[in-house]
Amino acid sequence: MEILWKTFTWILSLVMASSEFHSDYRLSYSSQEEFLTYLEHYQLTIPIRVDQNGAFLSFTVKNDKHSRRRRSMDPIDPQQAVSKLFFKLSAYGKHFHLNLTLNTDFVSKHFTVEYWGKDGPQWKHDFLDNCHYTGYLQDQHSTTKVALSNCVGLHGVIATEDEEYFIEPLKNTTEDSKHFSYENGHPHVIYKKSTLQQRHLYDHSHCGVSDLLRSGKPWWLNDTSAFPSSLPINGTHIHQRQKRSVSIERFVETLVVADKMMVGYHGRKDIEHYILSVMNIVAKLYRDSSLGNVVNIIVARLIVLTEDQPNLEINHHADKSLDSFCKWQKSILSHQSDGNTIPENGIAHHDNAVLITRYDICTYKNKPCGTLGLASVAGMCEPERSCSINEDIGLGSAFTIAHEIGHNFGMNHDGIGNSCGTKGHEAAKLMAAHITANTNPFSWSACSRDYITSFLDSGRGTCLDNEPPKRDFLYPAVAPGQVYDADEQCRFQYGATSRQCKYGEVCRELWCLSKSNRCVTNSIPAAEGTLCQTGNIEKGWCYQGDCVPFGTWPQSIDGGWGPWSLWGECSRTCGGGVSSSLRHCDSPAPSGGGKYCLGERKRYRSCNTDPCPLGARDFREKQCADFDNMPFRGKYYNWKPYTGGGVKPCALNCLAEGYNFYTERSPAVIDGTQCNADSLDICINGECKHVGCDNILGSDAREDRCRVCGGDGSTCDAIEGFFNDSLPRGGYMEVVQIPRGSVHIEVKEVAMSKNYIALKSEGDDYYINGAWTIDWPRKFDVAGTAFHYKRPTDEPESLEALGPTSENLIVMVLLQEQNLGIRYKFNVPITRTGSGDNEVGFTWNHQPWSECSATCAGGVQRQEVVCKRLDDNSIVQNNYCDPDSKPPENQRTCNTEPCPPEWFIGDWLECSKTCDGGMRTRAVLCIRKIGPSEEETLDYSGCLTHRPIEKEPCNNQSCPPQWVALDWSECTPKCGPGFKHRIVLCKSSDLSKTFPATQCSEESKPPVRIRCSLGRCPPPRWVAGDWGQCSAQCGLGQQMRTVQCLSYTGQASSDCPETSRPPSMQQCESKCDSTPISSTEECKDVNKVAYCPLVLKFKFCSRAYFRQMCCKTCQGH
């Protein structure tokens, strides 16, 4: 039965696969034919419709039912809407058997398609085609995902474990295809995600983010709490509810708008089907359990723009286009009178708006570049910010749209401000900013899950709480080489002028003439059925890379198992481990379409079954302890096995000592670990496997009544009794003494009462329910064995143990009311003289009919044949009876009537959070079983009992403290190498409390200082001071100034070039006083002047200044 499947997806998205193609600009394909020329390679295939077993039904794969209907019509006629479809196709050497189911609840009951001209709405309709499906590959339910529409052929995505494939109908654009008959099937193009070529861009293809930061910090980071009570929006405040951890189903009513370039590219005939096919994939992405929330993407309204709109500007500039689109869609939502307004009149409300354009958009500039989408972070439910712009790149647009809606939900890119996609952490997933070889494209990362959970829990997604009315809606053998010859195949790849180069073996590599008139190949073989020729084959055709005689197909050979490999290393050195052996399907390997081998490909056997030495550490305990040195949420804990219920026995669940939380440290324990302490069964590959009492995996060896493996039951005696003494109330009374070595101990009240069974030692030390204190029912390790104390709410209490006990024990009862009776039985060891085998006989016996294996829909009852002792009728190992006289086991059918409807309850999925309260979900379906291996699914109303819950809170324990980093400071200094600094605080997980730094792991502390640079600093320069006073008071002299080499900070430097150094000294001239010396003044040299002899020597006496200063020296000269 098909249960909920985890959806997949993504593909092209944010960085395309690399190739050797280069161009000066980003290409925009004008047709499918041109698009195919830029694929690295693709293949043609003709899908056929088959039944569930793969038997051929028809070449017609497109939806040919007249299932278009209005929303006012009655529910879909089962004869019109095919709820299950099966298709087969072959490509890349693989055979795909598709198992598809209708995708319901995808569009609103009020869904409309509107065509808008320059003056607004021109016409609308509410017809739908039931042609959209989701599913998986037959027999590969858990590992494959499919989302296809068959509105006009198969259009969608097939995801397997190792590759993702796009498939779409081949459009007949050439004259050669006119001869093609649809009665023989329609060719489809199928290509791998990895074949999409990387275009040579100005920058890498990426996703843009609008309003990522507000006031320098992300919206979800606040100093005192995880979320602000309000955020400024256009000068106003929107009220926010306080954060709470409650998950409910959300419904995103979506408006999808296609611009006129989309209409020009896809055409009016196909655009509706194409867009709904894309949104089908988006919807499945948001129903993937890895999201950690139940989010339904519901298409409420589709607007197709056939002309430009007056108030909507769309061009290459992604930021401006997004801003214009967000305002425009809000005007439609709010019905303002702006020329584009339409009356409500049944038009569906929308919570989120998606614009799909053929423009090659780019952030921050009106030119083509690598941006594929742009959205506001955390804009969901804010009317003017709950929107995105997405570039149409084919079916891969679905993953861009899902990515951008993720930003609206508050998600950041994986690896940007979080650990996802970084070294040592999980790979980046759907919210990766760029695709690399390490990107996991199938689901959401834990970081994305945390972002959207935090967003919704904060109360910011309240507009998504209302569930809109939905309408039942269903999403939408000629060899290819014979339809398209080698020349045609070359034209698909390299353009209309290309043709085949007669070079190499065409069936192995198709060589084609490129636009530069060179023979090139992408190493892809020609399509099967392409004509070929070899030295031995004059006329042949290609089949799986080989040239075979025309019209023949190689014989199919089914695969066969090869020999088993040698046994591998034992998983344990003692205590019972396992080793494994493999075989491969290679004797022969399947070929020519033959079947792969069926049966066991890996086997196991027990090894090293000897007990471990006394005092050896428990194996599961050791596995938990191995995580002691690994930080968990930034802190180290001492781990021990968690022994409580509600967990998988073969998962490694460990309890943090001293704390009240446990977690799954590994999904599977090491092979050979015991499933539980009371059983010899061991875990292999995460599943519990039976082990006989001889410690051999899969052995049917059983213990006898004395717990002797393979024994005959002769080493113990059975003790049974009934204690019903009438005793005074209000005290402990002895029931029975259990000797040392006793096994198979059972003590049980005959009726419910207020009395309590207790257990103590001979020394009056109580182990269970002593000292007037009643213990919780659980397992007690007492006297070398495990006692299970049970106290159900609707059954008498009991005490059971397998034994053997290592000491004498006394069963007591604490009487609170009248003793209604206690039954007990156990086996005590005895010592016999002689051989017990000679004293007792054995015989085969049919056991009573077993209970019917099913209460309805056909079950089986069996009478097992066992070997019993003749004296006490106890069961012993079969080898004590004569094997030749063993009678056959009896069997009969029973309860063949159909079962009443019942709820199918799937396993709980992983909790959305490991602590601080998350949510987990499970599948709940109403089914009715009508046969042993056949059941049918009914409407929920078919089940009369209350519908089980599908989601519940989990992991409510508090998370350990974590580091929270504030914003970086500015770079200091302003140029050249410098540093940024920030404050890092140890905060509680909800960011409401600050702890001492010692509470957080020092090893995981984010850096508080990083290097930075704001560009090169200006070079040192010469700085000259002011000129000093001239040295001469009259006439020529000299004057000086300081000249320094200084850095931009004013510090002295020696790096200034000497060639540009300014002079530090220059000649100067002072004005002389021309007043002649009076005759009364004495002619003498001024005493302070010491250079008068030089004045005479250099004949400066003629100058007035010097003649005055050196009057005596200059006399007569």
Alpha helix (H) ranges present in 297-408?
A: 318-334, 397-408
The annotation status of 266 as a binding-site residue, yes or no, is no
Tell me how long the chain is. 1117
Contacts of 641 (CB under 8 A, 6+ apart): 618, 620, 621, 624, 653, 654, 655
For CA atoms 1053, 1056, 1058, 1060, the dihedral sign is negative
Contacts of 1073 (CB under 8 A, 6+ apart): 1034, 1104, 1105, 1108
CA distance 529 to 175: 20
Structure token pair of residue 793: 């709410």
Phi, psi (degrees; rounded to nearest 5) at 454: -60, -40
The annotation status of 946 as a binding-site residue, yes or no, is no
In Å, the largest CA–CA distance within the chain is: 170
Alpha helix (H) ranges present in 570-717?
A: 619-625
The annotation status of 1085 as a binding-site residue, yes or no, is no
Residue 404 bears catalytic tag: yes
Structure token pair of residue 552: 């023949």
CA distance 100 to 149: 10
CA distance 868 to 880: 8
The DSSP string of 885-944 is GPPPPEEEEE--SPPPPEEEEPPPPPPS-SSS-EEEE--EEEEEEEETTEEEEE-GGG--
Contacts of 829 (CB under 8 A, 6+ apart): 706, 715, 716, 739, 741, 742, 743, 804
User: Residue 95 corresponds to which amino acid?
Assistant: H
Structure token pair of residue 169: 């109908």
SS3 percent helix, strand, coil of the chain, rounded to 5, is 15, 30, 55
Structure token pair of residue 430: 């759907």
The annotation status of 351 as a binding-site residue, yes or no, is yes
Among residues 422, 483, 512, 665, the alpha carbon closest in space to that of 46 is found at 483
The annotation status of 369 as a binding-site residue, yes or no, is no
Q: Is the peptide bond before 441 cis (omega within 30 degrees of 0)?
A: no
Alpha helix (H) ranges present in 188-334?
A: 260-286, 318-334
CA distance 572 to 669: 12
CA distance 479 to 86: 21
The annotation status of 413 as a binding-site residue, yes or no, is yes
* 48-50 β-sheet, strand order: 43-45, 188-192, 164-169, 155-159, 145-149, 132-137, 94-102, 84-91, 48-50, 56-58
Catalytic one of 404, 528, 797, 910: 404
CA distance 1114 to 1117: 5
The annotation status of 392 as a binding-site residue, yes or no, is no
Q: Is the peptide bond before 973 cis (omega within 30 degrees of 0)?
A: yes
CA distance 47 to 49: 7
DSSP code for 783: T
Residues tagged in the binding site annotation for Zn(2+) = 207, 403, 407, 413
Active-site residue numbers? 404
Binding residues for Ca(2+): 253, 351, 463
Residue ranges at the known binding site: 207, 253, 351, 403, 407, 413, 463
